[in-house]
Amino acid sequence: MSKVYYFDNNATTRVAPEVVEAMVPFLSELWGNPSSAYQFGSQLGKHIENARAKAAALINAEPKEITFTSCGTESDNTALQNALVVNPGKRHIVTTGVEHSAIINQCEFLKTQGCEVTFLPVDSQGRLDLHLLERSIRPDTAIVSVMFANNETGVIFPIKEIAAICRSQKVLVHTDATQVPGKVKIDVKDLDVDFLTLSAHKFHAPKGIGLLYIKRRVKFQPYIMGGHQERGRRAGTENVASIVGLGRAAELAVEHINDENTRVRALRDRMEETILHTIPDTLLIGAKEERLPNTSNIGFQYVEAEAILMLLDQLGICASSGSACTTGSLAPSHVLTAMGLTPMQARGCVRLSLSRYNTEEDIDYLLAHLPGIISRLRSISPLNTAHPDNA
């Protein structure tokens, strides 16, 4: 396959070569079951615990507070389901209208089971009103779940302040931090959250492995039941190779966080500023400052993102119009419409998300082709009545 110019790191990331290297023994000679009594299997336990310690270090947790799961979606679902089970009688959830579908769709399901859900609105920059959040908490609120950073816009939420509000009201708090590792420091002790979700494929480890941080002494009832794995908190034979991969990726995320905040941020800023200054009728979506250093979401007036993405794809450029989990849906992004964009404006937005593997050359390549694509599409767009051909 010819070179891929990858600008969709919020959808998934390249598995780091160091992570592959760490995993290989567990996909070849060390293939036993960690629950077996004989050494060939049981010796794997120490590798799982080693990975758990590395994952804990990434977020400043204790190793025992880390439970490995199959993905971010499972961790999100588990946090909400658990809150309802350990708080019988409490049937209200507070979340936001811009969460990932792993939270939104679980909440929609819970509504059919008799729960009430408050989906908090955001402003045009994608920010929450914390007074409104505080007022939304009720005596029957089981949990507040607010994402750490939005996957479509990169907008960062003030989780420490949100957790303090929840603490003062004695309500459990969960944050979906799936987009954050390696980009912004995560310190669960400082944040003081009860639950936190991560997914390994967003930080250069494989798909199909995630974790849920469960604060010490917080009541927990497993969501997936069966064997005694993960100290009875998450049944199912451990995905040893992927757990080891997650551990190695966690170490690398710590090592690379400065690069992500300097070199990658500078690449992102050059890409973003050049697009906004050289292509007319473009708009940055979401707060400029309180944002992940790798993410840009840009609105292009008079064109459909789907058409832009198709032409980019023909040049080997991967980008997206929002969450990969909603690709194929004709509805405009719920995140962008929650920020007040009209459906037509939302359909013109493209998300470009970088990683430590992006280079100046990638940015040059994108910037060499994007303006031509936009003007070509605008020249034939029925939405563009300002264009001479369409007047």
Regarding 176 and contact with ligand PLP (CB under 6 A), the answer is yes
* Distance in Å, CB of 145 to ligand PLP, minimum: 11
Residues 6+ apart with CB under 8 A from 28: none
Q: Does 183 bind ligand PLP (CB under 6 A)?
A: no
Residue 325 Cβ vs ligand PLP, minimum distance, rounded to whole Å: 6
- E-assigned strands of the chain? 5-6, 66-69, 92-96, 116-120, 141-145, 172-176, 195-199, 210-214, 282-284, 295-300, 317-318, 349-353
Which letter does DSSP use for residue 54 in this model?
Answer: H
Q: Which residue among 9, 153, 175, 179 contacts ligand PLP (CB under 6 A)? A: 179
Q: Is residue 72 near ligand PLP by the rule CB under 6 A?
A: yes
Identified binder of ligand PLP from the candidate list 16, 23, 71, 377, rule CB under 6 A: 71
CB-based contact 222:232 (threshold 8 Å):
yes
Minimum distance from CB of 199 to ligand PLP (Å)?
Answer: 3
The whole-angstrom separation of Cα 384 and Cα 300 is 11
Q: Which two tokens stand for residue 249?
A: 């990726």
- Asked if residue 8 binds ligand PLP (CB under 6 A), the reply is no
Per-residue x/- track, 133-172, ligand PLP (CB under 6 A): --------------x---x---------------------
Amino acid at 190: D
Query: Which of 107, 318, 325, 349 is flagged as catalytic?
Result: 325
Q: How far is the CB of 197 from ligand PLP (least distance, A)?
A: 7
- Of the candidate spans 15-23, 48-56, 72-80, 262-270, the one that interacts with ligand PLP by CB under 6 A turns out to be 72-80
Q: Which helix (H) or strand (E) holds 86?
A: helix 72-86
Q: How far apart are CA 18 and CA 245, in angstroms?
A: 9
The distance of closest approach from Cβ of residue 75 to ligand PLP in the complex, given in angstroms and rounded to an integer, is 8
Question: Would you count residue 54 as binding ligand PLP (CB under 6 A)?
Answer: no
Other C-beta atoms lying within 10 Å of the C-beta of residue 284: 17
Instruction: Tell whether residue 210 is a contact of ligand PLP (CB under 6 A).
Output: yes
Residue 236 per-residue DSSP state: S
Nearest residue to ligand PLP on Cβ basis? 72
Is 115 considered catalytic here?
A: no
Indicate the residue type of 2. Answer: S
100 binding ligand PLP? (CB under 6 A): yes
Beta bridge partners of 298: 284, 350
| 325: contact with ligand PLP by CB under 6 A | yes
Minimum Å gap between C-beta 147 and ligand PLP is 5
Number of residues engaging ligand PLP in binding (CB under 6 A): 17
Q: Which residues contact 292 (CB under 8 A, 6 or more apart)?
A: 149, 154, 156, 179, 180, 183, 184
Q: Is 354 in the site for ligand PLP (CB under 6 A)?
A: no
Sheet holding 282-284, edge to edge: 282-284, 295-300, 349-353
Taking the least distance from each CB to ligand PLP, the nearer of 150 and 381 is: 150
- The residue with tokens 């009860």 is 194
Binding to ligand PLP by residue 199, rule CB under 6 A?
yes
Q: Tokens at residue 268, please?
A: 């992102």
Q: Which of 13, 95, 175, 178 binds ligand PLP (CB under 6 A)?
A: 178
Candidates 33-41, 69-77, 134-142, 328-336: pick the segment binding ligand PLP (CB under 6 A): 69-77
Asked if 293 touches ligand PLP (CB under 6 A), the answer is no
Contact call for residue 102 and ligand PLP (CB under 6 A): yes
Burial call 21-32: b when 16+ CB within 10 Å, e when fewer: ebbeebeeebeb
Q: Are 249 and 200 in contact (CB under 8 A)?
A: yes
Where in the sequence numbering do the catalytic residues fall? 325
Footprint of ligand PLP on this chain (CB under 6 A)? 71-73, 76, 100, 102, 147, 151, 176, 178-179, 199, 201, 210, 323-325
